[in-house]
Amino acid sequence: MDYETGKRRDLENESLLGSRNGKRGWFPSRLAVWTLFVWGSVVFMKTLNATVNSEHSLSPKRWPWGFKVNKPELNRVSFENVRNATFVPQLHNVQWIGGSHSHDDMGLFLKEEGEAYVVKSVADEKYSRALLSAKTFVYDGYNYSIDYLQASPDLKQVLVRSNTTKNWRHSTFGSYFLINPTSDSVHLLGHEIAKVQWSPNSKDLAFVHANDLYIYSSQSYTISKRITDDGSAQVFNGKPDWVYEEEVFEGDSAMWWSPQGDYLAFLKINETEVFEFPIPYFSQHEDDVYPEVRSIKYPKSGSPNPIANLMIYTLDTQDLSGVKTGHNMTLITEVVWVGDAQILCKASDRSSDVLSVILADAKSPGLSQVPRVESSEDGWWEITYHTSYVGQDSAKGREEDGYVDLIPVDGYNHLAYYSPANTTEPVILTNGTWEVVNGPAAIDLETNDVYFVATKKSSTERHIYKVNLKDPLNVKEISDTTIDGYFSVSFSSGARFALVSYLGPEVPYQKIIDLKPESTAASEGIAGKTLFYLEENKSLKNRLKGYAVPHRIFKEIHLGEDKDGNAIIANSYEILPIGFNPELKNHYPVFFYAYGGPNSQQVAKTFSVGFNEVVATQLNAIVVVVDGRGTGFKGKDFRSLVRDNLGDAEAQDQISAAKLYADKPFVDAEKISLFGWSYGGYLTLKTLEKDAGQTFKYGMSVAPVTDWRLYDSVYTERYMHTPQENKAGYAKAKVHNATALGGANRFLLMHGSGDDNVHFQNSLRFLDLLDLAGVENYDMHVFPDSDHSIRYHNANNIVYDKLLGWAGQAFEGKFLK
């Protein structure tokens, strides 16, 4: 359910809330054409954070973009220029393709040139290989446009998708075709296909149609094998059901080819026992007088989960076998091939207390071993996706197959090398009071270097590092840690080249680097040699010179002591309005924004100008964001204390922060508000409930969970166990004290009626609670048929207009009792 991630969610309202993604000399002249080097579309960054890490002062502040905030001719930030992408940086995705070892890594990538799709090389600027000459094609007399394209590993054929329709958050359906550029032939795999994946052998493709799994031959252009025949509305083969897509894989695939393409592993998910949840839609068609009801299999906490089984199909023999995961290991969370015929499966109990690592040999169906069974030790096992296979190579000092995993080391997430794959004693590659983010980003199999992104400098920053399998704990910097920075990185197939994206706190840029140059310019501040800048965002920097953008001041905030007498220190940032004057008395309202979900993060040094800046500018308010206890990247002790008790410590930390601001002489303590969406909407209501109007006078809650019994099992039970096991915890975590909520001056509740994630049921049950208690100090707005992102029929504009306008009325005293 998380927007951020911690739980890795795409921020559904990034257009106004700002940018997200985790974050960080300039302008060499080599080949201006390379600035067009891009496969994919411009994307928004994904975090609610950015700008400068410094305390405010009374003197005029020079901004990182080179202008002073007190120049009277500068424009103010408004909804209009946020909505028209005035402040959105251009960022590009690169589809790397090619060899798997750095010695044959030419840095091949797929690029659009006009209407054509062309393979280019970072290493050889003269290299060019056209795959397709147009973005449309003709099949059976009909014209089709290309929505998605993926070349075969040998680059001889191209898989394309057209007629794409959206399913759930990550999944789509479409018509898939195979195009042979040499013969200029087009072959239809099928319509209404959910997912297609190339085999590493370039000969076979696996695809899912009507929840059954098929093998298609790229040589005969026919279906060579139907692997399953039990696919239905209840049984999913190779494709996740709703809860596995949303909460486990966060993607649309549940199949995995072996390294040589000899085997295909996939999940068979049976949700026969999962209860259905009906969602009525009222505004789909003008002529409909009865609502359209769509039912979704949705396991609420404590109710039956789907049953998932890992299957392995052998292409030569056409045998199909299952992998045993253990009686209580009901969630399959990650699958990785760790050899040509050896597969690793991570499984956990439904409450993520115990993690089992299972190894199975595809050559010996039915046989498996469990080298690792690990307890979460009063925390929980977060799902990971980046466990990476390290193949045997005696010449490189690797005597057996193994893998690099992300594991807790003294309460912080770090890299560990397991070799052989069935060992129980790994080599710890990194350690310290900081965390590796997600896992290994790439492994250079020629040098044994493991690249990763981590919080080693600061939990609010992301820098790039490497460590060698043969030199553990000797961590070396790749990005320049002498500057504040939030970086992300993607690597070419052999990990020689990398796309480095600096995402903040200043204006983002992207560059391509060679990690194995003959010489490196030390002045560049980053390991490797910069080949060229893919994006400099010069236009954005120029536009910013015309605006007075309120900047973000990052700091650690002291929120008192916990029950053991330890200081509670949280990350936070504040945005001061333009022209802020600390000499004024009882003047400034304070607008808190919170998300606060387990293992999430909002306070990160990314660049963005969004809704929070609009609030600071248009309402002349101080905006504050605090990542209290339960949030991520500050170690297990900080996040795991919310286990079985959601909404308690998180709410207390928001109240403690609000009290600190209420005591500031320039703050009007009667005008302190809190806004949150999804988990943040829940946290808003829990905070108002706990505070009972003492500190927070106003609240704005969008699409909130109000009772954790109503949310999905996989997410909820990870943090709360089941309602049967933790009845008192669920009762306490529920928004239940309507009388206390009545202590606030007023609050606003908004929800989409078509929300398939946090069901509208949550808000309706909450409204019933208010009715029973006679509480009336609230406003309500429902968005017909909108899902969790609230975008249907202009809803996204309206929801933010409502938030800004309602907060403005609150600060003007319109809602005083």
Give tens-digit pLDDT for 419-464. Answer: 999 999 999 999 999 999 999 999 999 999 999 999 999 999 999 9
Are 510 and 499 in contact by the 8 Å Cβ rule? The answer is yes
pLDDT at residue 487, as a whole number: 98
CA dihedral of residues 624, 629, 631, 635 (deg, nearest 10): 130
Task: Round to whole Å and give the CA distance between 544 and 122.
Answer: 32
Q: What would the mean pLDDT of 275-292 be, rounded to a whole number?
A: 95
Ramachandran region of residue 528, left (φ > 0), alpha (ψ -120 to 50) or beta? left
Residue 28 has pLDDT above 50, yes or no: no
pTM, two decimal places: 0.90
Q: Is the peptide bond before 28 cis (omega within 30 degrees of 0)?
A: no
* Residues labelled as active-site residues: 678, 755, 788
Query: Has residue 4 got a pLDDT over 60?
Result: no
Q: Is residue 302 within 8 Å of 724, Cβ to Cβ?
A: yes
| Confidence grade of residue 520 (pLDDT, cut at 50, 70, 90) | very low
State the pLDDT at residue 149: 94
Q: Are 670 and 706 in contact (CB under 8 A)?
A: no
First-to-final CA distance of the chain: 35
The CATH H-level superfamily of 552-811 is Alpha/Beta hydrolase fold, catalytic domain (3.40.50.1820)
The mean pLDDT value for 222-228 works out to 96
How far apart are the C-alpha atoms of 556 and 554, rounded to whole Å?
7
Token pair belonging to 106:
């030419």
User: What pLDDT, in 10s, does the model give residues 768-802?
Assistant: 999 999 999 999 999 999 999 999 999 999 999 99
pLDDT at 101: 58
Residue 24 near residue 479 (C-beta atoms within 8 A): yes
* Alpha carbon distances (Å) from 431 to 188, 384, 600: 51, 18, 21
pLDDT of residue 103: 61
Residues 323 and 329: their CA atoms lie apart, in Å, by: 12
CA–CA separation, 452 vs 450, rounded Å?
7
Question: Exposed (0-12), middle (13-18) or buried (19+): which is 29, by Cβ within 10 Å?
Answer: exposed
Average pLDDT, integer, range 101-130: 85
pLDDT, position 22: 30
H/E stretch holding 488 reads strand 487-491
- Beta carbons of 782 and 762 less than 8 angstroms apart: no
**559: helix, coil or strand?**
strand
Rounded mean pLDDT, 137-145? 95
At 55 the pLDDT is: 28
Mean pLDDT of 386-412: 96
Q: In what order do the strands lie in the sheet with 108-113?
A: 95-97, 108-113, 116-121, 128-132
pLDDT single digits (tens) 264-273? 999 999 999 9
Strands 552-561 and 427-428: unpaired
Average pLDDT of the segment spanning 692-720: 98
Sheet holding 427-428, edge to edge: 388-390, 402-409, 412-418, 427-428
Question: pLDDT at residue 204 above 60?
Answer: yes
List pLDDT tens digits, range 608-642: 999 999 999 999 999 999 999 999 999 999 999 99
The angle that helices 795-811 and 611-618 make with each other, rounded to 10 degrees, is 30
Mean pLDDT taken over the chain: 90
**d(Cα 335, Cα 344) in Å, to the nearest integer?**
6
**So what's the pLDDT on residue 365?**
83
Residue 672 has pLDDT above 80, yes or no: yes
Give the integer Cα–Cα distance in Å for 426 and 417. 5
Q: Cα–Cα distance between 700 and 688 in angstroms, integer? A: 10
Please report, to the nearest 10 degrees, the dihedral formed by the alpha carbons of residues 694, 697, 698, 699 taken in order: -20
Give me the helices (H) in 499-600, please: 538-544
Measured in degrees and rounded to the nearest 5, phi and psi for residue 14 equal -65, -25
Give residue 47's pLDDT.
32
Phi, psi of 766 (to 5 degrees): -65, -40
CATH of 135-271+306-382, one of 2.40.128.20, 2.140.10.30, 3.40.640.10, 3.40.50.300: 2.140.10.30
The conformation of residue 398, written as its DSSP 8-state character, comes to B
- Given the structure tokens 């299957």, which residue do they identify? 311
Which pLDDT does position 755 carry in this prediction?
97
pLDDT for the residue 93: 86
In the chain, domain spans:
135-271+306-382, 552-811
Buried b / exposed e over 795-815, threshold 16 CB at 10 Å, is bbeebbebbbebbbebbeeeb
Helix (H, G, I), strand (E, B) or coil at 244: helix
Mean pLDDT of all residues in 272-293:
95
Q: If you average pLDDT over residues 229-256, what whole number do you get?
A: 96
Query: pLDDT-based confidence at 40, cuts 50/70/90?
Result: very low
Residue 60 has pLDDT above 90, yes or no: no
